[in-house]
A and B are shown apart, each in its own frame.
Chain A
Amino acid sequence: MSTVTLPTAASPAAAEPKPTLAEVLDRLRGPARMLAAFIAALILFGIVIALKGVNPITAYKDMFTSTFTSWDSIAGIVVRSTPIILAALAVTVPARAGLINVGGEGQMIIGGVSAMGISLAVDGALPGGFTLVLMILAAAIGGALWSLFAGVLRQYMNISESVTTLLLNYIALDLMFFLIYDRWKDRNGTGQPTTRALPVSERLSLIGWGRVHSGVFIALGAAVIVALVFRYTSWGFRLRVVGGNAEAARRSGLKVGALLLSAMAVGGALAGLGGLTQLAGAEFKLRSGFIATYGYIGFLASWLGRHRPMYVVLASLLLSSIAISGDSLQLDSQLPAASVNVLMALILLMVFGFGTKRKAAA
């Protein structure tokens, strides 16, 4: 009798923790597919630069050696990825609620401008560390207000945030130009107009590895916090409900408007912090190429990491190294640095198109 009952009692218990072979294969297929998509993008980019008469194998070798083979160059990747991680998280949080924030670029600029404004207003009258804290707050608030504007337009006027955030990027850029060419121009400077540099006491400290500054802790800390908030707080859960089906969320009594606005504001605050790390950690002054498309690269990184905070960090590191390897393309292969945009775009397209099983056409 017992031989009959034993297997039926044991099999459900055994089947639950142990996934079937098909499930294991499915799980393995994800990364393998991503890798295949990545390689396909590298091959396509190789063809593109071969059309320009550059040997792709030499170019890839140069890109790889200049980007990865020394501790200093790896430190360079970390420095570059610091604002990009924050810019990517600025896309990730609104995306959780189904919003598309393409305004990272402008929000970063506003963050940098707000922080610089504090430094200029304080003018050394306060201890540097205290001013830096004020600058951090100002950057986050400035970025949040800038993105909140797009959030309000979306919530109350039904204007797509994907379009308004893009327009706001150009307005932010012109605002910064106005300041550095006019009000905040460093009269002692030569060449391209800039603001004065931040005093050393108001900068983010170096951590003793190349030019890596403590902003990297802001970026990684933000990623960890976002991941925890997504997983463990009701706010994070509600954002996902809204992002999944706003109408259902509304009917089940969630305050959809407040959730959308808060997601947008948090996104902008993160981007503003990204602008701050770039200002107080790397550039020290506002100049015309201050943010240099980091906001857009962050957008790509968030989508590459499928809006999951830890993957987004990895994607930011990957895209930062590609952005840096663009310098090698320029120096070793005499191609314009912007050519790496092609490689980034191809990687994203391959991952969008082939990284997962095909979804039903929208």
Chain B
Amino acid sequence: MSLLSEVLTGGIRGGTSIEYAALGESVSERGGVVNLGTEGAMLCGALAAYAVSFETGHPWLGVLGGAVAGGLLASVHAFFVLSRGANQLATGLVVLFLGLGLTSLFGVTYVQALAPTFSEVSLPLLSKIPFIGPIMFEQDPMVYLAYILVPVLWWVIYRSRWGVLLRAAGERSEVLTAHGHRVIPIQYIAVIVGGMFAGMGGAHLSIAYTKSWFENMAQGRGFVAVAVVMFASRDPWKVMAGAYLFGAALALSPALQARGYGINQFALDAVPYVVTLLVLILLSRRRRDELPEGLKKVFEQSMAT
């Protein structure tokens, strides 16, 4: 396999967990709530998916478990931010700590366990397309589910009635109130749905990508997801591209090492984070205007005691 196709294949594989988490964070931010606890929701999702898959023998039930666990953790964030008026960014990090602690507490028993996992499935016909086929269509089922989710989510956000309500909650909550809608329940749904997606991202990490569970296995992917959402302006298609870009940066390291390049492993490990930072910088100019009104307050006046 050429270096390019190897990096692209690996990019999709490695980027999918971030794609799920970033799609979820897009929903949450569209509703006006930033969730840095995405990292924690991914961890909870990863453990729950692995544990459920192990106990039941069905990886798809694991995905469901991951979504539920991620949604539960996000509901903690939603409660303290929406119902108790706590600072969004600080609460998100505390929620991450909660997820980190809970998963190491309940995860010990599954470190050695061998759970049923997803393996690659070649799609008939599609995988025969030259170059693109093996890259896009010889992946695990959760990758394909993500392909479908992106346009669906795009439609929901921009074309459906629910999307209008969601965007209004984040942009012009007073208009919603004037039309007799209650803003807080919409935001609750947005944050919890966001956490469920992050949980599915964690699920992909444990039962499809690494095929294992270990403590703190998300390694900053949840934070990267938040960064991806920032430079992707909460647009599902751009989120997908950003997530695969991070994945490609991740895939670069093993691909180069396999070809005998003597580059230090840790220098390569830093590449995905450096790339994310660089993209944030390159795409920074136009971003602020696209930020939902409700979020400008969060990012520019973060101080709250």
Check A60 for interface membership: any CB of B closer than 8 A.
Answer: no
What is the 8 Å Cβ interface bit string for chain A, positions 159-184, against chain B (1 contact, 0 not)? Answer: 11011101111110011011001100
User: Number of B interface residues, CB 8 Å?
Assistant: 62
A100 engages B302 (CB within 8 Å)? yes
Per the bound structure, the CA–CA distance linking A164 and B184 in Å amounts to 29
B274 engages A360 (CB within 8 Å)? no
Q: How far is the CB of A240 from chain B (nearest CB, A)?
A: 9
B104 engages A361 (CB within 8 Å)? no
Give the residue of B108, B273, B302 whose beta carbon is less than 8 angstroms from that of A171: B273
Give the residue of A48, A158, A339 whose beta carbon is less than 8 angstroms from that of B284: A158
Q: How far is the CB of A195 from chain B (nearest CB, A)?
A: 14
A102 engages B277 (CB within 8 Å)? no
Residues of A80-100 contacting chain B, CB below 8 A? 95-100
Check B304 for interface membership: any CB of A closer than 8 A.
Answer: yes
Chain B residues positioned under 8 Å from A132 (CB to CB):
none
B94 engages A349 (CB within 8 Å)? yes
Check B27 for interface membership: any CB of A closer than 8 A.
Answer: no
Give the residue of B84, B264, B301, B305 whose beta carbon is less than 8 angstroms from that of A354: B84
B284 engages A341 (CB within 8 Å)? no
Q: How far is the CB of A284 from chain B (nearest CB, A)?
A: 22
Give the residue of A100, A167, A181, A349 whose beta carbon is less than 8 angstroms from that of B98: A349
What is the 8 Å Cβ interface bit string for chain A, positions 334-362, against chain B (1 contact, 0 not)? Answer: 01101111111110110011100011111
Chain A residues positioned under 8 Å from B285 (CB to CB):
157
Chain A residues positioned under 8 Å from B81 (CB to CB):
361-362
**A163 — nearest CB in chain B belongs to which residue?**
B227
A341 engages B91 (CB within 8 Å)? no
Check B157 for interface membership: any CB of A closer than 8 A.
Answer: no
A95 engages B284 (CB within 8 Å)? no
- Give the contact stretch, choosing among B4-12, B118-126, B139-147, B218-226: B218-226
Per the bound structure, the CA–CA distance linking A344 and B264 in Å amounts to 36
Q: How far is the CB of B178 from chain A (nearest CB, A)?
A: 17
Residues of B90-109 contacting chain A, CB below 8 A? 90-91, 93-95, 97-98, 100-102, 104-106, 108
Contact A175-B270, Cβ < 8 Å, known A162-B89, A164-B280, A360-B85: yes
B273 engages A338 (CB within 8 Å)? no
Check B297 for interface membership: any CB of A closer than 8 A.
Answer: yes
Check A38 for interface membership: any CB of B closer than 8 A.
Answer: no
What is the 8 Å Cβ interface bit string for chain B, positions 69-91, against chain A (1 contact, 0 not)? Answer: 00000001001111111111111
Chain A residues positioned under 8 Å from B224 (CB to CB):
167
Q: How far is the CB of B15 from chain A (nearest CB, A)?
A: 16
Check A111 for interface membership: any CB of B closer than 8 A.
Answer: no
**A179 — nearest CB in chain B belongs to which residue?**
B266
**B305 — nearest CB in chain A belongs to which residue?**
A306
A344 engages B104 (CB within 8 Å)? no
Per the bound structure, the CA–CA distance linking A339 and B105 in Å amounts to 5
B85 engages A345 (CB within 8 Å)? no
Top 3 A-B residue pairs of the complex, sorted by shortest distance between their CB atoms = A341-B101, A342-B101, A174-B270
18 intermolecular pairs with C-beta atoms under 8 Å apart: A52-B106, A153-B281, A159-B230, A160-B230, A162-B302, A163-B227, A163-B230, A167-B220, A168-B277, A174-B269, A174-B273, A246-B301, A300-B97, A303-B87, A336-B215, A338-B101, A349-B86, A358-B85
- A-binding residues in B (CB < 8 A): 36, 76, 79-91, 93-95, 97-98, 100-102, 104-106, 108, 184, 215-216, 219-220, 223-224, 226-227, 230, 264-267, 269-270, 273-274, 276-277, 280-281, 284-285, 287-288, 297-305
- B-binding residues in A (CB < 8 A): 48-49, 52, 95-100, 102, 153, 157-160, 162-164, 166-171, 174-175, 177-178, 181-182, 243-246, 296, 299-300, 303, 306-307, 335-336, 338-346, 348-349, 352-354, 358-362
Beyond the given pairs A98-B303, A300-B94, A344-B101, 16 more chain A to chain B contacts, judged by CB atoms under 8 angstroms and listed by A's residue number, are: A98-B301, A100-B90, A157-B285, A164-B280, A178-B266, A178-B267, A303-B87, A306-B305, A336-B105, A341-B101, A341-B104, A344-B97, A348-B97, A352-B94, A361-B82, A362-B81
